Amino acid sequence: MKTRDRIIHSAIELFNDQGERNITTNHIAAHLGISPGNLYYHFRNKEDIIHSIFDQYARHLSESFTPARSTEIRLDDLMGYLDAIFYLMWQFRFFYANLPDILSRDELLQHKYLKAQEQLRAAVEALLRSLREGGIIAVSDADLPDLGQTIKMVVTCWIPFQIAQAPHTRITKPLLYQGVLRVLFLLRPYVQPQVAPRIQQLEQHYRQLAQLGG
């Protein structure tokens, strides 16, 4: 792995474990066993590292939530998208946990974030239409944008909501699987009767993951 990639990987690890506010470029360099000068050769400052992490996050958003088929999605595909939601919340949990503060410090990053969110909005709506075409859900064109926006809100706000309930909450994989279950809960009223048993199996799968030890 190239030094630049190692810096990004280590920064994500430290930000997730200790909080972005508590980590400096010196901490990242020490964690890697390199000199601060070597780090600054690749990145000007911590904000530069965060931009690169966000670019990675945005690529995952774009790649993970593009419909697998041009017209319809099957139930096996739905599980893949739910797993992608979990991966993003887990891999970039520091970003979700401290989103307003991180964006408020960097106007350019906020612009990039809003652009990524607009792309995600369109992708989520396309996925919901594909679920409808695949006979999995029945949702009107009028309700579809609000359903997509609500799903986005749950995913984006799940970690901050948990932290607000208890400031010392430890963000664990089971806790994030509870967030995935909330997405399934939002879809439940729209599920077609013929696929309801399979959706219940999906819910049971994620419920078991949510009950595992953190």
Residue 181 main-chain phi, psi, to 5 deg: -60, -35
Determine the topology of domain 1-43 in CATH: Arc Repressor Mutant, subunit A (1.10.10)
For the cut 90, the answer to whether the pLDDT of residue 21 exceeds it is: yes
Residue 134's pLDDT is 85
- Measured CA distances, 46 to 8, 36, 121, 146, 171 (Å): 10, 12, 29, 36, 23
Specify the range with the lowest mean pLDDT, choosing from 13-22, 76-85, 88-97: 76-85
- CATH 1.10.357.10, the chain: domain bounds: 46-211
Residue 71's pLDDT is 55
Residue 168's pLDDT is 81
Higher pLDDT, 66 or 111: 111
For the cut 70, the answer to whether the pLDDT of residue 214 exceeds it is: no
As a whole number of angstroms, the distance between CA 161 and CA 184 comes to: 18
Model confidence at 74, in pLDDT bands (50, 70, 90)?
Answer: confident
- CATH 1.10.10.60, the chain: domain bounds: 1-43
For the cut 80, the answer to whether the pLDDT of residue 129 exceeds it is: yes
Percent of the chain whose pLDDT exceeds 70: 96
Model confidence at 213, in pLDDT bands (50, 70, 90)?
Answer: low
For the cut 60, the answer to whether the pLDDT of residue 70 exceeds it is: no
Higher pLDDT, 69 or 210: 210
pTM to 2 decimal places: 0.91
Homologous superfamily (CATH) of 46-211 is Tetracycline Repressor, domain 2 (1.10.357.10)
Model confidence at 68, in pLDDT bands (50, 70, 90)?
Answer: low
Residue 62's pLDDT is 87
* Residue-wise pLDDT tens digits, 50-61: 999 999 999 998
Amino acid at 142: A
Dmax over CA atoms of the chain, in Å, equals 61
Helix ranges (DSSP H) in the chain: 3-18, 25-32, 36-42, 46-64, 75-91, 93-97, 99-104, 107-133, 144-165, 173-187, 196-211
- DSSP per residue, 123-150: HHHHHHHHHHHTTSB---TTTHHHHHHH
